[in-house]
């Protein structure tokens, strides 16, 4: 039975509305998980779903995209900024704390459609019942703006309310402080401002807050009492409330930085203050409405995925995934999406291959303009990639495993946690030898170019990235004289449990493929775009490197399937010991295996962290036949712990392609549960944004059957049995393509241009404004 089990979410959902996630329980064990899952952001500013009042064990993170700074002795990271969320509330001198007194009617819900977070509860303390309603949003219209509101009423007369609401710069990245405290000011008796600057990168920040206090909707003519502390400035209110009254505080807050695109040369203090003055002319609802409209216009009108199923959870998961991707994606080509976006301190805000392989497909098909910016970031990153290559005595562009500011190059930390046996900190080899990132970027550029046919991007940036990547790869090759072949030794492939391997299949295949792409592009440019050719030839000595490509490309060693059809993950893998991994696979706790073995021991066994050979087969599906895929699935899947959040969605897609429908749906469910699931994991560190991309991939590319075969759009869906219908829309060559699949038919419609696509090997054409209807057939793969 497929879909017989239901996804287990840490949040509740509204059965009729897939756009709300929330919880009706206050569970101290789940604080960090809820903070991550209920993240609010607009790609510029990101705030975790912390409570307004402080809680033990919380992670009160707020980030602005791209504002990297390095603490002495550490790699660069996104600084955790002064807290704008905090409100300290005292009721009759008793501090609001959910650990004291009792709580009834608790609800904390995030509206995924517009990012509004609300929290309501009754706090019963000393025989008083006080009703609280908190609501807040990060504006999608004005990306600097954060607005929040608290409403308080009670069953008491003469209830004393004290509220402290302001800017609390006593924040840090797990106690690492990036900010130098600047001026603190009060303007016009009601606007408070804190200026700050990062200690190494010298990025300046202005934070402003204004509070408006109301009783029963009447604005109080009441200047707050101001107090300051170290890195802190607060407005304080102290008033009494009767049982028939409602107190409301609206907090307007904003952040500006010296690296903002539009105000680099402005007086940050004045500009940000003026903007807040303007913003605070509108009330909460008006500002929320504007933000909601921007969400609709910029996101939901472009991006449509609808699942009809008795189970609402897949629809919640895909809504959640898209909301989170958008909330963490900067609109600035000097920046990219962090592995955790702006949702937590994990991975320091750095960008990995997660973007290209797992998140970019969503943008390429749903919002190609964003995809273009994310790839342009890699173009800007060529400077950093050249640095890295030179440092390692290679040529061309060796992209960093971890990227922050594009020209910085490699920002991976050098050391990680301890080896359990020796007690010594372990070198993190990824920044040195996990080199497939350079191929991953080329894969993504090609997927973007295939889907968009964006010639401008190709000519201005895309081709250069690919040529430069190939230049790196050819310099990276090592000649084995005995066998007259080129090898790539001492790398880490996608499977990070295997360090210092030789001829990792994924790495070698994709390196060769990069060079092949570059050869084609070289010839295209030379023939069709001689000016670009001349320009790039001068810039990167293209002709010479081309000759090298031609000399070497056919001698690059590819680990071919062995007699049993198994593609060796690397030279050593197949000769290692095999153990039964099932107990590590079923347990939801990631990295359980490290409680039994250390990395050296794991290295000695056929244990794979995540799709490696299978990822190759998935990404280059049109280059391997079904038999090889099935053999390798059968071989590698039981050896995979799925300790990487990148693994499950790939397996879901792969299983669906192999028509292993039960497994496909099980992997799909697990993929949807990576962040939304009930296990706590590393939620305090933030969401797994690649897994969010994975949900979209598994839904649209997996079950929805969206593929690119020989550069052509291909649609071979495989609708789960418990879904009645799947509808989605994608962009293809400037056209908008709408696909609707149920168990009897597939309807494909197109606007803004004609469409050619393949289904089950047959080519279809749809004219602008028309649709074509096909019988729904699931062929055995």
**CB 272 → a second copy: shortest distance, Å?**
16
Compute the distance between CA of residue 567 and CA of residue 657 in angstroms, rounded to an integer. Answer: 18
Taking alpha carbons only, the member of 328, 336, 370, 369 closest to residue 353 is 336
Q: Which stretch binds a second copy (CB under 8 A): 71-79, 256-264, 270-278, 465-473?
A: 71-79
Q: Token pair of 254, please?
A: 């904003």
Name the one range near a second copy by CB under 8 A: 192-200, 611-619, 628-636, 713-721: 192-200
> Distance between CA 448 and CA 462 in Å, rounded?
9
The annotation status of 100 as a binding-site residue, yes or no, is no
Minimum CB separation of residue 68 from a second copy in Å reads 17
Q: CB of residue 56 vs a second copy: minimum separation in angstroms?
A: 4
- Please state, in angstroms and as integers, the Cα–Cα distance from residue 642 to each residue in 19, 211, 494, 664, 667, following that order: 29, 47, 12, 14, 10
On whether the CB atoms of residues 468 and 397 are closer than 8 A, the answer is: yes
Candidate residues 8, 17, 55, 334; the one interacting with a second copy per rule CB under 8 A: 55
Smallest gap from residue 417 Cβ to a second copy (A): 4
Instruction: Quickly count: other Cβ atoms within 10 Å of residue 265's Cβ.
Output: 7
For residue 105, give both structure tokens: 């009617």
Among residues 28 and 725, whose Cβ is nearest to a second copy? 28
Q: Which of residues 140-169 bind a second copy (CB under 8 A)?
A: 169
How many residues bind a second copy (CB under 8 A)? The answer is 48
Residues, the chain: 781
CA neighbor of 33 nearest in space, from 689, 692, 695, 679: 679
With H, G, I as helix, E, B as strand and everything else as coil, classify residue 104: strand
Residue 100 in contact with a second copy, rule: CB under 8 A: yes
d(Cα 585, Cα 582) in Å, to the nearest integer? 5
- From 68-76, 328-336, 499-507, 661-669, span contacting a second copy (CB under 8 A): 68-76
Answer yes or no whether residue 425 interacts with a second copy by CB under 8 A: yes
> Which is nearer to a second copy, 83 or 354 (by Cβ)?
83
Residue among 232, 254, 250, 208 nearest 47 (CA): 254
Q: Is 709 in the site for a second copy (CB under 8 A)?
A: no
Task: Determine if residue 354 is labeled as part of a ligand binding site.
Answer: yes
727 part of the interface to a second copy, by CB under 8 A: no
Q: Which is nearer to a second copy, 180 or 574 (CB)?
A: 180
Q: Taking CB under 8 A as the rule, does residue 73 contact a second copy?
A: yes
Using the rule CB under 8 A, is 102 a contact of a second copy?
A: no
- Which three-class secondary structure state does DSSP give residue 316? helix
Q: Tokens 């009330």 identify what position?
A: 283
Instruction: Please say which residue, 47 or 652, places its beta carbon nearer to a second copy.
Output: 47
Is 609 annotated among the ligand-binding residues?
Answer: yes
496 catalytic, yes or no? yes
Site track for a second copy across 750-779, x = CB under 8 A: ------------------------------
For residues 268 and 256, is the Cβ–Cβ distance under 8 A?
yes
Q: Which is nearer to a second copy, 198 or 661 (CB)?
A: 198
591 near a second copy, rule: CB under 8 A = no
Closest separation between CB of residue 225 and a second copy, Å? 7
Q: What's the closest the beta carbon of residue 90 comes to a second copy, in angstroms? A: 11
Residue spans of alpha helices (H) in 65-219: none
* Token representation of residue 380: 């800007």
Stretch that binds a second copy, among 178-186, 253-261, 463-471, 772-780 (CB under 8 A): 178-186
Q: Indicate which single residue of 225, 286, 596, 769 sits in contact with a second copy (rule: CB under 8 A).
A: 225
Pairing of strands 17-23, 12-14: antiparallel
Find the shortest distance in angstroms from Cβ 416 to a second copy: 8
In this complex, which beta carbon is closest to a second copy, that of residue 95 or of residue 541? 95
Of the candidates 116, 356, 464, 496, the residue annotated as catalytic is 496
Kindly list the distances between the CA atom of residue 11 and the CA atoms of 321, 407, 504, in Å, as whole numbers in the listed order: 14, 40, 40
**Selected binder of a second copy within 126, 157, 170, 460 (CB under 8 A):** 170
Query: Which of 199, 294, 516, 727 is in the footprint of a second copy by CB under 8 A?
Result: 199
Separation CA 358–CA 651 (nearest Å): 13
C-alpha distances out from residue 600 to 192, 419, 498, 603, 646, Å = 55, 9, 9, 5, 22
Residue 516 labeled ligand binder? no
Choose which of 422, 455, 547, 734 interacts with a second copy (CB under 8 A): 422
Stretch binding a second copy (CB under 8 A), from 187-195, 283-291, 432-440, 695-703? 187-195
Residue placing its CB nearer to a second copy in the complex, 423 or 761: 423
What's the closest the beta carbon of residue 175 comes to a second copy, in angstroms? 4
The answer to whether 184 contacts a second copy (rule: CB under 8 A) is: yes
Burial of 414-447, coded b for 16+ CB within 10 Å and e otherwise, reads eeeeeeeeeeeeeebbbbbbbbbbbbbbbbbbbb
Given the complex with a second copy, which of 80 and 697 has the nearer CB atom? 80
CA distance 384 to 70: 17
| Binding track, positions 594-613, relative to a second copy; x by CB under 8 A | -x------------------
Residues 358/690, Cβ–Cβ less than 8 Å = yes
Is 278 a residue that touches a second copy (CB under 8 A)?
A: no
The answer to whether 126 contacts a second copy (rule: CB under 8 A) is no
In terms of Cα–Cα distance, which of 552, 559, 460 is closest to 515? 552
Q: Could you write out the DSSP letters of every residue in 241-296?
A: E-TT--EEEEEEEEEEETT-TT-TTS-HHHHHHHHHHHHTTS-HHHHHHHHHHHHI
Non-local (6+) Cβ contacts of 766 within 8 A are: 748, 749, 750, 754, 755, 756, 757, 772
Count Cβ atoms within 10 A of the Cβ of residue 327 and give its class: 0-12 exposed, 13-18 middle, 19 or more buried.
Answer: buried
Distances from the Cα of 318 to the Cα of 304, 342, 344, 418, 670, angstroms: 10, 19, 21, 37, 13
Cβ closest to a second copy, residue 166 vs residue 621: 166
69-77, 293-301, 727-735, 767-775 -> range binding a second copy (CB under 8 A): 69-77
Q: Name the segment binding a second copy (CB under 8 A); options: 15-23, 50-58, 563-571, 690-698.
A: 50-58
Phi, psi of 159 (to 5 degrees): -75, 125
Is position 172 an interface residue for a second copy (rule: CB under 8 A)? yes
For residues 152 and 192, which CB has a smaller minimum distance to a second copy in the complex? Answer: 192
**Options 27, 189, 390, 427; binder of a second copy; rule CB under 8 A:** 189
54 is a contact residue toward a second copy (CB under 8 A):
yes
Residue showing tokens 């000399």: 551
Give the integer Cα–Cα distance in Å for 738 and 544.
46
Here the tokens at position 167 are: 């800017």
CA distances from 315 to 401, 630, 725 (A): 33, 29, 11
Could you tell me the smallest distance in angstroms from the CB atom of residue 241 to a second copy? 21
Report residue 176 as tokens: 């690492």
Work out the angle between the directed axes of helices 463-476 and 382-391 (0-180°, nearest 10).
10
- Smallest distance from the beta carbon of 228 to a second copy, in angstroms? 4
Q: Applying CB under 8 A, does 614 fall inside the site for a second copy?
A: no
**CB nearer to a second copy: pick between 151 and 592:** 592
| Look-up of token digits 């756009």 | 19
Considering only residues 389 through 418, tell me which ones interact with a second copy, judged by CB under 8 A. Answer: 417-418
Q: Which residues are catalytic?
A: 496
Binding-site sequence positions for substrate? 353-354, 609-610
Give the footprint of a second copy on this chain (CB under 8 A).
28, 54-57, 71-74, 97, 99-100, 169-172, 174-177, 180-187, 189, 192, 197, 199, 225-231, 233, 417-418, 420, 422-425, 595
């Amino acid at each position: 039975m497929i879909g017989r089990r239901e996804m287990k979410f840490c949040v509740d959902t509204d059965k009729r509305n897939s756009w709300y996630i929330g919880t009706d329980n206050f569970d101290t064990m789940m604080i960090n998980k809820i903070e991550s899952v209920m993240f609010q952001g607009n790609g510029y500013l990101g705030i975790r779903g912390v409570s307004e009042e402080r809680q033990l064990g919380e992670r009160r993170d707020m980030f602005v995209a791209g504002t990297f700074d390095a603490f002495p002795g550490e790699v660069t990271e996104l600084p955790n900024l002064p807290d704008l969320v905090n409100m300290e509330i005292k009721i009759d001198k008793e501090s609001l704390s959910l650990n004291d007194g009792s709580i009834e009617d608790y609800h904390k819900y995030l509206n995924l459609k517009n990012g509004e977070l609300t929290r309501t509860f009754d706090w019963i303390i000393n025989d008083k019942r006080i009703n609280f309603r908190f609501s807040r949003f990060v504006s999608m219209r004005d990306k600097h703006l954060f607005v929040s509101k608290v409403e308080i009423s009670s069953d008491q007369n003469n209830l004393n309310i004290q509220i402290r609401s302001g800017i609390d710069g006593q924040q840090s990245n797990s106690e690492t402080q990036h900010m130098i405290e600047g001026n603190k000011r009060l303007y016009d008796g009601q606007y408070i401002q804190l200026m700050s600057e990062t200690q190494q990168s010298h990025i300046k920040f202005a934070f402003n807050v204004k509070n408006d206090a109301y009783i029963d909707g009447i604005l109080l003519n009441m200047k707050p009492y101001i107090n300051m502390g170290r890195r802190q400035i607060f407005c304080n209110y102290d008033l009494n409330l009767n049982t028939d009254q409602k107190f409301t505080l609206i907090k307007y807050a904003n952040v500006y930085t010296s690296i903002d695109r539009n105000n680099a040369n402005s007086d940050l203090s004045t500009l940000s203050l003026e903007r807040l003055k303007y913003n605070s002319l509108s009330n909460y609802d008006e500002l929320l409405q504007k933000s909601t409209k921007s969400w609709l216009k910029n996101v939901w009108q472009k991006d449509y995925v609808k699942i009809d199923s008795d189970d609402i959870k897949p629809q919640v998961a895909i809504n959640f995934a898209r909301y989170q991707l958008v909330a963490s994606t900067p609109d600035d080509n000097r920046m990219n999406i962090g592995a955790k976006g702006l949702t937590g301190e994990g991975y320091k805000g750095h960008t990995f291959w997660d973007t290209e392989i797992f998140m970019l497909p969503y943008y390429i098909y749903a919002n190609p303009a964003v995809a273009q910016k994310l790839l342009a970031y890699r173009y800007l990153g060529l400077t950093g990639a050249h640095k890295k290559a030179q440092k390692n005595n290679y040529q061309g562009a060796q992209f960093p495993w971890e990227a922050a500011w594009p020209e910085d190059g490699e920002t991976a930390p050098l050391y990680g946690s301890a080896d359990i046996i020796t007690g010594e900190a372990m070198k993190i080899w990824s920044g040195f030898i996990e080199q497939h990132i350079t191929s991953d970027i080329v894969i993504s550029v090609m997927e973007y170019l295939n889907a968009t046919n964006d010639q401008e991007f190709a000519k201005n940036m895309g081709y250069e990235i690919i040529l430069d990547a190939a230049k790196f790869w050819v310099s990276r090759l090592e000649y084995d004289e005995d066998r007259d072949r080129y090898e790539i030794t001492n790398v880490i492939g996608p499977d990070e449990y295997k360090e210092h391997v030789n001829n990792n299949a994924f790495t070698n295949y994709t390196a060769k493929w990069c060079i092949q792409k570059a050869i084609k592009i070289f010839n295209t440019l030379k023939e069709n775009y001689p000016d670009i050719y001349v320009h790039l030839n001068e810039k990167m000595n293209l002709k010479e490197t081309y000759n090298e490509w031609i000399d070497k490309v056919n001698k690059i060693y590819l680990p071919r399937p062995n007699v049993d059809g198994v593609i060796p993950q690397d030279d050593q893998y197949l000769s290692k010991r095999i153990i039964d991994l099932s107990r590590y696979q079923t347990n939801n706790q990631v990295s359980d295996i490290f409680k039994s073995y250390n990395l050296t021991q794991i290295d000695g066994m056929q244990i794979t962290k995540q799709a490696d050979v299978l990822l190759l087969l998935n990404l280059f599906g049109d280059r391997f036949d079904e038999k090889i895929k099935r053999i390798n699935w059968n071989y590698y899947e039981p050896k995979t712990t799925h300790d990487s959040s990148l693994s499950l969605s790939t397996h879901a897609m792969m299983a669906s392609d192999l028509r292993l429908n039960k497994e496909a749906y099980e992997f799909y469910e697990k993929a949807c549960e990576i962040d939304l699931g009930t296990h706590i994991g590393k939620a305090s560190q933030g969401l797994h944004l690649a897994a969010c991309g994975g949900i979209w991939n598994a839904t649209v590319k997996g079950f929805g059957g969206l593929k690119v075969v020989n550069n052509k759009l291909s649609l071979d869906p495989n609708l789960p049995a418990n879904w009645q219908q799947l509808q989605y829309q994608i962009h293809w060559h400037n056209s908008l393509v709408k696909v609707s699949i149920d168990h009897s038919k597939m309807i494909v419609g197109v606007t803004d241009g004609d469409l050619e696509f393949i289904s089950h090997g047959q080519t279809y054409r749809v004219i602008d404004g028309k649709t074509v209807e096909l019988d729904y057939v699931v062929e055995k793969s």
